[in-house]
Amino acid sequence: MGIVYYGVYAQYFEVGRVEALRELGMSYRKMEEEGTMLPVKHLELNYHQSAKYDDLLTIQTSIVEMPGVRISFLHHVYNENNDLLTTGKVDLVFVNSTSMKPKRAPSDFLAKMAEFF
């Protein structure tokens, strides 16, 4: 059909989350090595326009509230003409990697986030 398959946007959002955390000086890998995992609790997608094959896409990712046990990411996907294509929200839960029970975000993560809230 010449358009990006709708299911791919969840992968785009993950790339946005990983890069947002990297810009904060954090990484999924480091958190997992230290015993914290972040499974997805909720995914919401809103399609405004279709992305086409070979479109150059920009994924803007933001965290709009201070994390606790959960963290929410908002995503906006734009094409090279700056047309809004897709918006979404992904909620993740901090869990202990051994027990898989929810826990507060790691203190070093919260310290880095506090600068923005």
What does the block give as tokens for 94?
């901090």
Residue 116 pLDDT: 85
Number of structural domains (the chain) is 1
Q: Is residue 21 part of a domain?
A: yes
Rounded Cα–Cα distance for residues 77 and 92 (Å):
20
How many CB atoms lie under 10 A from the CB of residue 88? 21
Q: Is residue 32 part of a domain?
A: yes
What does the block give as tokens for 43?
């995914």
How many CB atoms lie under 10 A from the CB of residue 54? 8
Tell me how far the alpha carbon of residue 104 is from its chain's centroid.
18
pTM: 0.91
Judge whether residue 10 has pLDDT over 90.
yes
CATH code, domain with 35: 3.10.129.10
Rounded Cα–Cα distance for residues 9 and 15 (Å):
10
Instruction: Render pLDDT for 27-85 as a digit per residue (tens, 0 to 9).
Output: 888 899 999 999 999 999 999 999 999 999 999 999 989 999 999 999 999 999 999 99
Range of the domain at 88: 8-114
Q: Is residue 79 part of a domain?
A: yes
